[in-house]
Structure 1
Amino acid sequence: MATTSDISKGAFLRYNGELVMVTDYTHITPGKGNAIYTVKSRNVKTGKQSEIRFRSGEKIELVRVETRELQYLYQEGDSLVCMHPETFEQLPVPMVLFGESLKFLKENTIVLVKFDDNDVPVYAEPPTHVELEVTYTEPGLKGDTSTRALKPATVETGATVQVPLFVEAGERIKVNAETGEYVERVK
């Protein structure tokens, strides 16, 4: 068994019988008494965020996960079917694991999927940046800006992204899949 000193961001723990992923943690040493670890976590099954407190040196159950690169092929029901690029094995990955970044995923994108000991997907991570084509945006009006002005644009996956006024329909842009923010125009 591991102790609280082994906690790191992105680690998986079994807490109260549930598998949780550490999204952030802080180590606090009060003037009097033992140190405390405050762990922000996300329940893998439900997606619910919670905060857990551990005393320093407390025993915890770390869960080992295996990370695989898979290619997203298509959507089927409430899962995305992904293929292992070497074995061509097709695996269903629940859409819930992708979170908000799902709306920026297009077919044939390489994603990272983490599997637990039972070969069950527990976490999915799209690439940080994705290149998408702008399918619709209003024309930008020049001269009406005093600061950095943005306008809504619809990309090929159907998601809406705030882009600068100079971006037009048909252009390719780079979007941060985690935050949904415009990064740059692709040449």
Structure 2
Amino acid sequence: MIQTIDLKKGMVFEKDGKLLKVLAINHHKPGKGNTLMQMDIQDVRSGSIVHTTMRPSEKVEQVMVNKKNAQYLYDEGNTSVFMDLETYEQYEIDQSQISEEKKYLTENMQVQMNFVDSELVGVELPATVTLEVVETQPEIKGATIDGGGKPATMNTGLVVTVPSFVKNGDKIIVNTSDGAYKSRA
């Protein structure tokens, strides 16, 4: 058993018979009263995401997650197919279970598959990925004073705010934890 105050982003725990993954967590201390844990959690089997509040002293069952190195191969209908890099065995996972990660996946990308017992419950991405800009506004000469950037659509469909000098066809490095532009590739 683990207290909810010890939960961190990415951890998997069991509550009420459901396997839940922490997507975001925030310690909230109101002016009066006790600290609360506000969390966005995802049911790893159904893919549904819920915002919930728990007391820090609540206990949940931490689940042991086994990781295997894998390669993303392709999509087939509503499933994504991954290959274990050691055994070359292929695994399928419903795209609703990896909806956030899907925005960063490109063919042949190496990831880690997460298993609870023998069930594939999710994938972990590398810290950064290289994506190609497929659509963005052209650079306007002299429009560097605002420095706010412009939206750009990547080859995976992800929309990232990029500096004004980035153009269609450029490859950029994107941080997978927050979807932010990091640098040119």
TM-score (norm 1): 0.79
Q: Distance in 2 between matches of 1:62 and 1:155?
A: 36
Counterpart for residue 90 of structure 2 = 90
Q: Percent identity?
A: 35
Superposed CA RMSD: 2.9
The CA deviation at 1:72 is 0.2
Alpha-carbon distance change, 183 to 4 in structure 1, aligned in 2, over 3 angstroms: same
Q: How many residues align?
A: 180
The CA deviation at 1:144 is 2.6
SS at match of 2:25: strand
SS at match of 1:146: coil
Contact residue 68 and residue 113 of structure 1 kept, 8 A: yes
Deviations 1:111-165 (A, max 9, x none): 1221112x11222222221112223333201213422142233333343332211
The CA deviation at 1:75 is 0.3
Counterpart for residue 54 of structure 2 = 53
* Letter of the 1:101 counterpart: E
The CA deviation at 1:25 is 6.0
Q: Distance in 2 between matches of 1:113 and 1:12?
A: 13
Contact residue 173 and residue 184 of structure 1 kept, 8 A: yes
Deviations 1:67-99 (A, max 9, x none): 122100000111110001111000002212322
Counterpart for residue 4 of structure 1 = 3
The CA deviation at 1:26 is 4.0
5+ long unaligned stretches in structure 2: none
Q: Does 1:127 align with 2:123?
A: no
Q: Distance in 1 between matches of 2:59 and 2:136?
A: 54
Contact residue 144 and residue 164 of structure 2 kept, 8 A: no
TM-score (norm 2): 0.80
Matches within 5 A, 1:7-156: 7-9=6-8, 10-22=10-22, 23-24=24-25, 26=27, 38=37, 40=39, 41-44=41-44, 45-54=46-55, 56=57, 59-117=59-117, 119-156=118-155
The CA deviation at 1:59 is 5.0
Counterpart for residue 176 of structure 1 = 175
Q: Distance in 1 between matches of 2:47 and 2:78?
A: 14
Alpha-carbon distance change, 150 to 39 in structure 1, aligned in 2, over 3 angstroms: closer
SS at match of 2:100: helix
SS at match of 1:153: strand
Instruction: Name which one, 1 or 2, has greater alpha-carbon Rg.
Output: 1
Deviations 1:32-65 (A, max 9, x none): 9xx8763623322342223243473x65322211
* Letter of the 2:173 counterpart: K
* Letter of the 1:78 counterpart: N
